[in-house]
């Protein structure tokens, strides 16, 4: 059974918390994890890039000069690709970048990411994360106590509260999400995961 120290806000050990070995102690599947990251990054792309080809630019309805006898190279339209203001060739058109991955693979990727965080000792579990005020310095104080103030931190809680949102939103190295929003991209993009005990149980209920 996988165990991790359960800490309080002072960084003191409260007890050993047992983690579900089917989530936090599996054999990592890096291929599925890689595919999940590619899928997540692709889903962020709008795919709205567009340029006009020669049939879409305005003008150029007639031949600029006769075919022979002018000394110029022959031209059919001033909106051909070689003209300034002409159409473009081989440039981006709107497309859908989304990819597919079945549900079991997505869950396996999430378990792999959580397992690697636990194995690398980058998973920090605390009893609860409640701030008395919405001040950023209070959040910094918590991170400094846990020795992760200079790291990229993903904070995972079961439910958000206003003080927590306001205290963390100005910290560029901190991302705050709820347990039902946890995803592979956020996990691999951060150095440490700070998660509450309630959030761990919520994740285990879904992925177990």
Q: Are residues 33 and 74 in the same domain?
A: no
Q: How many CB atoms lie within 10 A of CB 190?
A: 20
The answer to whether residue 199 sits within a structural domain is yes
Q: How far is CA 36 from the centre of its chain?
A: 11
- The parent domain of residue 87 ranges over 51-91
Closest alpha carbon to 79 in 98, 103, 52: 52
Q: Are residues 72 and 133 in the same domain?
A: no
pTM listed for this prediction = 0.83
Q: Are residues 110 and 177 in the same domain?
A: yes
Q: Are residues 129 and 85 in the same domain?
A: no
* pLDDT tens by residue, 58-83: 888 889 999 999 999 999 999 999 99
pLDDT of residue 41: 95
* pLDDT tens by residue, 29-40: 999 999 999 999
Closest alpha carbon to 34 in 123, 104, 105: 105
Domain end marker among 91, 122, 144: 91
Helices 103-119/30-43 angle, 10° precision: 110
Give the residue with greater pLDDT, 53 vs 208. Answer: 53
Q: Are residues 28 and 72 in the same domain?
A: no
Q: Are residues 40 and 58 in the same domain?
A: no
Q: Are residues 180 and 78 in the same domain?
A: no
User: What's the average model confidence in pLDDT over 101-127?
Assistant: 95
Query: Domains in the chain: how many in total?
Result: 2
pLDDT of residue 208: 78
Q: Are residues 42 and 122 in the same domain?
A: yes
Residue 2: pLDDT band with limits 50, 70, 90: confident
Round to whole Å and give the CA distance between 168 and 131.
11
Q: Are residues 56 and 129 in the same domain?
A: no
pLDDT of residue 172: 95
Q: Are residues 191 and 109 in the same domain?
A: yes
Q: Are residues 166 and 121 in the same domain?
A: yes
In 22-161, the DSSP E strands lie at 123-126, 153-157
Q: How many CB atoms lie within 10 A of CB 87?
A: 18
Q: Are residues 107 and 133 in the same domain?
A: yes
């Amino acid at each position: 059974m996988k165990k991790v120290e359960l800490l309080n806000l002072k960084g003191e050990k409260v007890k050993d918390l047992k983690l579900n070995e089917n989530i936090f102690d599996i054999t990592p599947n890096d291929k599925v994890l890689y595919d999940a990251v590619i899928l997540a990054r692709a889903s962020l792309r709008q795919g709205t890039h567009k340029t006009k080809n020669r049939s879409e630019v305005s003008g150029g309805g007639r031949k600029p000069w006769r075919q022979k006898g002018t000394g110029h190279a022959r031209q059919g339209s001033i909106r051909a690709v070689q003209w300034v203001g002409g159409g473009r060739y081989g440039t981006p058109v709107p497309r859908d970048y989304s990819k597919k991955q079945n549900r079991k693979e997505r869950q396996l990727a999430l378990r792999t990411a959580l397992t690697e965080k636990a194995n690398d000792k980058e998973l920090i579990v605390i009893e609860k994360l409640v701030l008395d005020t919405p001040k950023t310095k209070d959040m910094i104080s918590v991170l400094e106590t846990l020795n992760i103030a200079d790291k990229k931190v993903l904070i995972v809680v079961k439910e958000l509260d206003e003080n927590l949102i306001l205290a963390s939103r100005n910290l560029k190295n901190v991302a705050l999400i709820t347990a039902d929003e946890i995803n592979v991209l956020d996990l691999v993009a951060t150095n440490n995961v700070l998660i509450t005990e309630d959030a761990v149980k919520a994740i285990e209920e879904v992925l177990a």
